[in-house]
Copies of this chain bind each other. A is one copy, B any other.
């Protein structure tokens, strides 16, 4: 069925390093893992040989006995530039470690998680997982796990890293109110993709109530498809009691809202104020000038990675790291006289 691959230069193995350095294979392995019981002399000698032969340990072989020094990241989507921030954080946490991150992308993590376990990842970071607690526990039972963007303080088998989405929701509403926008609607998702969205909605509700705007609470839920979001926004903006402002659950959605508003000839923020979430790079652009809640993606990525490595190293109690979000104000939510 399949032909033989063409012959390729064979790899340098640990054995060759050992014989070059004049020591045992076990000794080289020890240096590699910087395990206990290696003299400086030996280490130096071995490292020289490794350098000279340009030796690189084969992850598959390591995996068969110990770890592969590979972490798996699972993103729900590649379109959202916010994930690039998280990734930057992961990378900076990985500097000067032996670990390497491999990414996968999948809305429903399930099958990808299996694939990553099959490939002997030492641990997994799930980003915005659309999974039940139960399912996450099952996964955590089989591989060290950290979730970014999953609220479950009770989780004991895995760690979580979040920004305080409830506070984020509150901040968005509070900011809009301070700028004189009263009728604040929230643009959310029809199918809640994670616990994150619930928290943001909750924050929105609570703050609206506290601001005495309980009667204006209006959560509009759109399917995640581009066309449908725009349809939903259009319906909202054309309705008789058009809101003053829209709190969008994501910058990406906010950009779509801006698009629809622009199409309808509405001006932002005079006719409609808009605020997003994530503080993506695109917010800054003059065609958007989008006010957004910053959740420090880089910090999220960094902390998650740190926690994951701790867990791989044997920590068993769970930790839950929370970042405080902050408003980054731009023109899209400015005060209107």
Contact = CB atoms under 8 A, between A and B. Distances in A.
Contact of A313 (B3, B120, B255, B287): B3
B70 A119 contact: yes
Given A258-B285, A262-B287, A5 B60 contact: no
A237 B6 CA distance: 54
A78 B70 contact: no
Nearest to A62: B60
Contact of A4 (B36, B64, B287, B314): B314
A136 to B, nearest CB: 15
A262 B263 CA distance: 17
Which of A34, A57, A262 has the most chain B CB atoms inside 10 A of its CB?
A: A262
A284 B227 CA distance: 11
Contacts of A143: 8
Q: How many A residues touch the partner, as a band?
A: 35 or more
A104 B99 CA distance: 13
Interface stretch (A79-87, A164-172, A178-186, A238-246): A79-87
Interface in A238-292: 255-256, 258-260, 262-263, 281-282, 284-288
Contacts of A41: none
Interface in A56-74: 56-61, 63-64, 68, 70, 72
A56 B9 contact: no
A119 B313 contact: no
Contacts of A81: 78-79, 81
Contact of A104 (B102, B263, B312): B102
A262 B120 CA distance: 50
A123 to B, nearest CB: 10
Nearest to A65: B60
B313 A2 contact: yes
Interface of A: 1-6, 8-9, 34-36, 56-61, 63-64, 68, 70, 72, 77-79, 81, 83-84, 87, 100-105, 114-115, 117-120, 141-144, 226, 255-256, 258-260, 262-263, 281-282, 284-288, 312-314, 316
